Chains A and B, each alone.
Chain A
Amino acid sequence: MSAMDAMATRQAIETVTARWRGIGWQLLGEEPMAPALNVALDEVLTRRVGAGKRPPTLRFWTWAARAVIIGRFQSVRNEVNQDAADEMGVTVVRRISGGGAMFVEPDKAITYSLYLPEEYVDGLSFTQSYEALDSWVVAGLRDLGVDAWYAPLNDITSAEGKIGGAAQARRGRAVLHHTTIAYEMSPDEMVRVLRIGQEKLSDKGIPSAAKRVSPLRRQTALSREAIVAHLIARFRDEFGLADGQLTPDERAAADRLVHKQFATEQWTHDIP
C-alpha cells in the first residue's frame, strides 16, 4: 500500500469510528460457554442487531472447553487432524465467518465479537472495515506497551509475530466482526490438531505455523484478565459502553441453533 493510500485509509477509519461514539453500545461479559454455543450466539446476536432488536454490542467470549473453530469455507478434512482432536478431547465447530482455523483453550485466548448495523461502516471498503473494527484493540495493546499494529487484511501483529486474527460475516444489514488474540499458546498441541500445509506458509518466509504466532504472554507481564479489563476500559472511553446481559430469549434462540445446526455433523462438515 502506498503512503497516500495508507493516509486515506487512516482518515476514512477515523471518520467512521468517530460515528461510533454514544450509539448505545452494550457489553456482554465473559461467561464460559461451550464452543457451539459461542458460535451460535454470533448468528443470533448479529441478526438481532440487524433487526434493531438489540443495540450495537461488544461481547467477550470465554471458552468452556478446548476447541478448533474452523472458517465458513474450510474443509474439516483438510484442516483438522480428527484423530488427534478426538484423543485430545478437542471439539471442532464451524463458525459463520470465513478465514482460517484456530485452536483455542480456556484462559489462553482472548476472543471478542462486535455486532453493529452496516450503516456504521458505510464509507469503508470491506478491507478498511476490518482495520477500523480492531483499531481500538491495537490502540489498547499499545497502551499496555505491546508494539502492535494492524496488518491487512485481518491480522493484529507485532515485530515478534502475529498476535491475533479477525473475521467478519454479514447478516441482514448487520456486521459481525470477531477477533481472537493469543494470550498463551501450546504450539505442540496446535500443530498436532491443525493440519497446516507448506502451501499456506509459502509466502510467510518462516518454517512453521507455531513460530508465526507470538502470544501476548511473551510480550507483557500482565494477566489475561488485566488485558481484557484494559481493552474494555479503552472501548468504554472511546465509544461509550453500558453493561448488558443476554436476554432469556436470545439465549433460548442460541440453544435451539446449537441443536439444529452448530453442534451437528452436517454443519461442521458443510462447505457451501
Chain B
Amino acid sequence: MKLRVVRARAERFGGIVEVERPRALLHVDRAMMRELGHPESPLWREDAGTDAPLSAPTEVHIVLSRRCAAGCSGCYVDATPHGTALSLDEACRILDELAAMGVFHVALGGGEALELSYLFDVAAHARSVGMTPNLTTSGLGLTAADAERCRVFGQINVSVDGVGEAYRRARGFDGFARAERALRLLRAVKQEVGVNCVVSRTSFGNLSAVARFVRDLRLNELELLRFKPVGRGANLDEELTPEQARRIYPLARWLMLRHRIRVKLDCSFAPMVFWHRPSARAAAFWGVHGCVAGDVLAAVAPEGHLMGCSFAGATTIDARVPSAVRAAWPSAFASFRDFVRTAPEPCAGCEYLRLCRGGCRAVAEAHGSFSDPDPGCPRVQEWCARNGARTSVRANRSSFSLPVVRG
C-alpha cells in the first residue's frame, strides 16, 4: 500500500500533505517533507515549535448566500428567500486566491447553496484549482439530476436535526421526508454522504433516532454540531443544559458503538470533551481542537468579508479583492490567536488549554465577551461555582444563566 500525496505545502513544523485514499490531511515534520521530495522552505529556517498560526487555513467555509426559502427558526446566518449572495465570478475569484494560498478544502454552504443556479460551477471551479469542495445542504429541493451532479463534491452532509416529528420541532417546519429523499438520492451516487445534526436542548433527547437513521441509510458519518446562539438562534432558548453538556461526549461514544457509525463533534464541543480528560497525546494526533478560527479555519461571508469562522470574527478584509486575504492572513485574527497566551482563569490553569483554546469564541461573544472562557464548558461552570463568579445573561436566555468568568 502506498499513500499517494495529491497536494502538499510547507509549514514551520514541516508541512501538511493531502493523501487521496484514505482521504486525509497529514501534518508531518521537516524530515518527512524532505523524504517526500519537497523543496526546502524558508519557513523551515524559523523555530519549528512556535505557536505561530498556519501559513494559510487548511479549510475555508464559503457562505455562498444568505438565501434560503426554508426559514429555519434557528438559522445562524439569518437566511431569507431573497438574501445576499456571492456571484459566480466573485466566488471563483475567492477560490483562486485560496488555492494559491494552499487551502485544501472548501465547505460550501449558506443559506441554501442548492438554490443558487451556479453552485455546481463554483464546485467545478474549486476542483479545477486543486481544492476539494464539500457541501452542506438541507436537501429540500434536491432532484435526481442534482444528486448526479453532486459527484463533484467530496463530503456532502444533509441537515437532519431530528427524525420525523422531531425534525419539525427542531427546525420549525416539516421537511424530514424531503431530507430523507435527498439523502437516498445522494447515497445512490456516492459514498461520502452524511448527516449534520444540530444538538440543542430540544434535539438532545432524539440523537439516538438520528444515529439509527444514519446507520439504516448506510451514511458515512453523523456530525453533531453544537447549537450556537447567533443569527436567528440568538432568539431561542436552546443551548445545552449543564447536564447535557456533561453527557454529550459519552453519548457520542455510545452512539458510535451502538450503531457502528462514525460520529464527529464540531470544534465548539471541545470543552465538553476535554472535561472527560481524554488522552491529550491522542487528541493532539487526531487534530482534536477547540477554536481553530483564524488558523486552521476561516470563512467568507456572502458580502465578501473574511471571518475567523462562520459564526464570529468578521473583519473588514474583502476576500473578493485579489491578494487581500493572502496579505492580511499573517496578522489577522489576533483576538482568536492570542487566546491561549492571554487566557483568563480557569482556562489559564487548564492542562488542555492548548488543545481546547477556551472553547467556542462565538458562544462566548454571544454571552457578552469574545475573550471570556466558553460559558458552556463544564470546567468553567465548576470553577465559577467554587469561586462565586457570575455574570448577567440576557433575559431571553434566563434558563441558561451560567456563570461566566471575567479575565
Chain A complexes with chain B: no
Q: Which residues of B contact A (CB under 8 A)?
A: none
